[in-house]
A and B are shown apart, each in its own frame.
Chain A
Amino acid sequence: MIQHYPALVVILPLCGAALSLALTKIHLHLGRNVIFLSMALSFYMSIMQLRNVVINGPMEYRFGGYAIPYSIEFRIDTVNGLVVAMVALMGLITAFYCISGEIRSEKLKVGGAYAVVALFVAGMLGNASSADAFNMYVFLEITALAAYCLIALGGNRGMVAAFRYMLVGTIAGTFYLLGVGILYSATGTLNMQDMSIIIQQGGKDEAVLVALCLMIAGLGIKSALFPFHGWQPSAHTHEERGSAALIAGVMVKIPVYMLFRFVYCVFGTNFKYMQQILIVLGIFVGIGMMYGSIRAIGQTNMKKLLAYSSITQTSYFMLGIVIGSPVALAGSLLHFIGDAFIKGGLFYCAGAIKYKFGTVNIDNFGRIYKKMPVTSALIVAGALSMIGIPPTVGFFSKWYIAMGAIQTGKYIFVILLIISSLLNAIYFFKIIEKIFMSKDKGLEDVRPVKKGELPWSMLVPMSVCIVVIFLLGFLNVKIINMVLPLLKGVGM
């Protein structure tokens, strides 16, 4: 049965979402529980699939049973096996987190909310595991549509933010579609494996150059790379409380993974214009790292602060692609996976504080660590990992990125890495100071929470995030050894 796992990981949340509305009509929580079951199953399968890939090599799955270039194909190797597992886990714990945000009044709204989250996760899972260019476009659109809805659910200002994000997102989607079209016109197939074989034979440099530029523009907009990041801060501040972690934590990262897949696996590294493109990308990444952190320092709204800091994180993942050495790539992949839990976790905290005290403004976070120990512990863990203090995953990913940068002689990126992690330190310790030390602002509970700090449905995801941040720290060598044989650097 295991060779069916790549397909089932994506199909199960899809079926869960499809049925949830009908099942909610039968009983209020039946739809929700079916979605939890489907997500838990898909997470279990993604772990089994990852284990299988590590043991006996990449798996591929041809939909409809036809030969490779003629049917859609899912190709799972260690790189996207890890990404799929991360997305499945984040999806599961975010679904748990959304329990607290339920509007029990209308049956439709309960079933619909979970259906949208399940579709969102199914879209990202598919995006990570697909090996067909056009198929990725459709998954990209499913994720985008669900994201517009999740942002729109965050109240009236969310509507405007969702509309603006929709316009920008559709521009990005269309650019990506045009890139796929040009690649199809040059190579004749849509399967990435087949496409790279044809491109490797050469003679198609100009088409690949134009397609690459379009894709960088499209995927750059989607992942809020520096020059195209305009939509992100407003979108993240008004998100629906539960799913903010998913959108900021995971959705912003999937396009970076797609760009990695195209640049390194499809176009190959000895493509004529590759050096110039990587230099241009390097400039974007460099400015992006600085810009995100500097803007984040001045913010008082915690969600906006996290939104700006996720612009920096996107530049970290692109850093691996720009530096080009396999070690740097492995490092940025590790950061990719770790940061989903760090950024996701921090958004959970922002949501939890808003849920309990109804405020997002940092200044009146006075001394809340007494009332919210788990949240403050997660904020501290996230802060340490963003700065790069050893036991957490942040340190190890910075280590590999720095090593890659030094090996290829690109010292500018090491300096940028250090400066931006210090800038991160500034605004994170500002938050820590406010939480642990500033005067008590006497915040009282907005909602009568029965016992303890937060409903269990919020505490579970947060503690999972804390555990994973430290766990990834210890497992980093296994992950790197898994991933390294697969990556070949630029001009190495």
Chain B
Amino acid sequence: MMRKVIGIIVIIVGLGYVFMSFDFLPVIGDSTAPAHTHVSDYYIENALRDTHSPNLVTAVLADYRGFDTLLETTVMFSAGVCAVMILGSKSHIRNRFLVPKKILKGKPEPGVSAYKTVNKDVMVTLIAIMILLYAIYVLLHGEVGPGGGFQAGALMALSYIVSMMIAPDTRPLFSLSKANAAALAGIGVFIYAFTGLLTVFNGGMFLEYGRLPFPVSNEYLHTIGIMLIEVGVTIGVMATIITILKAIIERVRFDDDRD
């Protein structure tokens, strides 16, 4: 125990000394620090003119440094694929959740005993729809308000999770098997990359939205460009979250397992 305490004290004192002797960081909050004067004020001043999106963060994220976001989505996708590859092998674990095939076969009509908890199922479907609607709003509204693809994707996945957790034996709004979800994540990333390739084929640099082939004036091109990549990001994020979720659920033995 003593060793730990000594360790912590050493860290605190050591770091204090380093920070005292070296003043390599600017004072917090002063707007003349080099970090704010060189590149970021260009972004602030020209964001509206270049990218036509009032939300500066989305402008930087989707347009100025759009390539970073493509790589971000690839990180998500690779995390999803890795999780699936690591957890994917043991398929003989009893599938805890009703696979759509089973449900479609014997669909319980209202009055049958399986249908007894009407309110739970109704409530779940209502919530799921609401979440999905909000997700679409966040997606489309991304460049104006603080929104964007990642939040929208997370919300869509959330609607899937909610319906799965609360009413596991009802058929969720849309259900994906692990392989399909991983494939969908790939397609999401490809949509993003393809918009970039579209601009390249059309003579511009990669992800230069001014060169998108749609017959619309320059101003809207940027918005469409940002929209397209946001859609790709959303699909990628949603599918990855669902893949990881299904991979972990199929593998883990919960304590209240019936089998």
Do A and B share a direct contact in the complex (Cβ within 8 angstroms)? Answer: yes
Interface residues of A (CB under 8 A from B): 4, 7-8, 11, 14-15, 17-22, 24-25, 61-66, 69-72, 106-109, 112-113, 115-116, 119, 122, 126, 134-135, 138-139, 141-142, 145-146, 148-149, 152-153, 159, 182, 184-190, 194, 198, 206-207, 209-211
The CA of A64 and the CA of B208, in the complex, are separated in Å by 4
B218 CB, min distance to chain A CBs, angstroms: 12
Residue of A nearest to B60 (CB): A70
A138 touches B85 (CB 8 A): no
Other-chain contact of B193, A4, A18, A65 (Cβ < 8 Å): A18
Given A7-B200, A119-B74, A185-B34, are A134 and B85 neighbors across the interface (CB < 8 Å)?
no
**Nearest 7 Cβ contacts at the A-B interface:** A188-B38, A149-B82, A65-B208, A207-B24, A22-B183, A18-B189, A188-B34
Other-chain contact of A139, B71, B189, B197 (Cβ < 8 Å): B71
- Residues in B neighbouring A206, C-beta threshold 8 A: 22-24
A142 touches B75 (CB 8 A): yes
Among B78-103, those with CB < 8 Å from A are 78-79, 81-82, 84-86, 88-89, 91
Other-chain contact of A146, B25, B82, B193, B211 (Cβ < 8 Å): B82
Given A4-B200, A70-B43, A188-B38, are A116 and B186 neighbors across the interface (CB < 8 Å)?
no
| 15 more CB-based (< 8 A) A-B contacts, given A17-B186, A185-B34 | A14-B74, A15-B193, A18-B77, A65-B204, A112-B84, A135-B71, A138-B75, A139-B71, A145-B82, A152-B85, A185-B33, A189-B38, A189-B39, A210-B22, A210-B24
The CA of A138 and the CA of B75, in the complex, are separated in Å by 8
Residue of A nearest to B239 (CB): A21
The CA of A218 and the CA of B196, in the complex, are separated in Å by 32
B195 CB, min distance to chain A CBs, angstroms: 12
The CA of A398 and the CA of B52, in the complex, are separated in Å by 56
Within 8 Å of chain A (Cβ to Cβ): is B173?
no
- Residues in B neighbouring A72, C-beta threshold 8 A: 65, 67-68
B68 touches A106 (CB 8 A): no
Residue of B nearest to A145 (CB): B78
A142 touches B186 (CB 8 A): no
A112 touches B182 (CB 8 A): yes
Given A61-B205, A119-B81, A206-B23, are A141 and B183 neighbors across the interface (CB < 8 Å)?
no
- Residues in B neighbouring A20, C-beta threshold 8 A: 186
Given A7-B200, A17-B186, A134-B68, are A188 and B85 neighbors across the interface (CB < 8 Å)?
no
11 pairs across A/B with beta carbons < 8 Å? A15-B193, A17-B77, A18-B74, A20-B186, A66-B50, A69-B38, A70-B64, A149-B78, A188-B38, A194-B38, A209-B22
Residue of A nearest to B79 (CB): A145
A45 CB, min distance to chain B CBs, angstroms: 13
- Residues in A neighbouring B208, C-beta threshold 8 A: 64-65
Among B196-232, those with CB < 8 Å from A are 196-197, 200, 204-211
B22 touches A21 (CB 8 A): no
Within 8 Å of chain A (Cβ to Cβ): is B190?
yes
B186 touches A18 (CB 8 A): yes
A19 touches B190 (CB 8 A): yes
A63 touches B207 (CB 8 A): yes
Given A15-B193, A69-B39, A106-B91, are A112 and B75 neighbors across the interface (CB < 8 Å)?
no
B25 touches A185 (CB 8 A): yes
A338 CB, min distance to chain B CBs, angstroms: 29
Q: Which of B24, B33, B70, B211 has the most CB of A within 10 A?
A: B24
Q: How many residues of B contact A (CB 8 A)?
A: 63
B143 CB, min distance to chain A CBs, angstroms: 15
A142 touches B78 (CB 8 A): yes
The CA of A194 and the CA of B34, in the complex, are separated in Å by 13
Among B27-59, those with CB < 8 Å from A are 33-40, 42-43, 50
The CA of A70 and the CA of B193, in the complex, are separated in Å by 21
The CA of A17 and the CA of B73, in the complex, are separated in Å by 13
- Residues in A neighbouring B82, C-beta threshold 8 A: 116, 145-146, 148-149, 152
Given A148-B82, A149-B81, are A187 and B38 neighbors across the interface (CB < 8 Å)?
yes
Interface residues of B (CB under 8 A from A): 18, 22-26, 33-40, 42-43, 50, 63-68, 70-72, 74-75, 77-79, 81-82, 84-86, 88-89, 91, 178-180, 182-187, 189-190, 193-194, 196-197, 200, 204-211
Q: Which of B42, B204, B206, B211 has the most CB of A within 10 A?
A: B206
- Residues in B neighbouring A65, C-beta threshold 8 A: 204-205, 208, 210-211
A138 touches B81 (CB 8 A): no
Residue of A nearest to B191 (CB): A18
Given A64-B64, A64-B208, A207-B25, are A70 and B88 neighbors across the interface (CB < 8 Å)?
no
Residue of B nearest to A152 (CB): B86
- Residues in B neighbouring A115, C-beta threshold 8 A: 81, 186
B71 touches A66 (CB 8 A): no
Other-chain contact of B179, A108, A149, A152 (Cβ < 8 Å): A108
- Residues in B neighbouring A109, C-beta threshold 8 A: 85, 88-89
The CA of A116 and the CA of B63, in the complex, are separated in Å by 27
- Residues in B neighbouring A18, C-beta threshold 8 A: 74, 77, 186-187, 189-190, 193
The CA of A206 and the CA of B23, in the complex, are separated in Å by 7
A21 touches B65 (CB 8 A): no
- Residues in B neighbouring A187, C-beta threshold 8 A: 34, 38
B206 touches A15 (CB 8 A): no
- Residues in A neighbouring B89, C-beta threshold 8 A: 106, 109
- Residues in B neighbouring A185, C-beta threshold 8 A: 24-26, 33-35
Residue of A nearest to B36 (CB): A188
- Residues in A neighbouring B26, C-beta threshold 8 A: 185
Other-chain contact of A71, B64, B72, B211 (Cβ < 8 Å): B64
The CA of A107 and the CA of B50, in the complex, are separated in Å by 45
The CA of A66 and the CA of B59, in the complex, are separated in Å by 13
- Residues in B neighbouring A190, C-beta threshold 8 A: 39
B38 touches A21 (CB 8 A): no
The CA of A108 and the CA of B81, in the complex, are separated in Å by 9
Residue of A nearest to B193 (CB): A15
A116 touches B205 (CB 8 A): no
The CA of A492 and the CA of B209, in the complex, are separated in Å by 45
- Residues in B neighbouring A107, C-beta threshold 8 A: 179
The CA of A184 and the CA of B25, in the complex, are separated in Å by 10
The CA of A108 and the CA of B250, in the complex, are separated in Å by 15
B37 CB, min distance to chain A CBs, angstroms: 6
A132 CB, min distance to chain B CBs, angstroms: 8
A17 CB, min distance to chain B CBs, angstroms: 7
A112 touches B38 (CB 8 A): no
- Residues in B neighbouring A61, C-beta threshold 8 A: 205-206
B190 touches A108 (CB 8 A): no
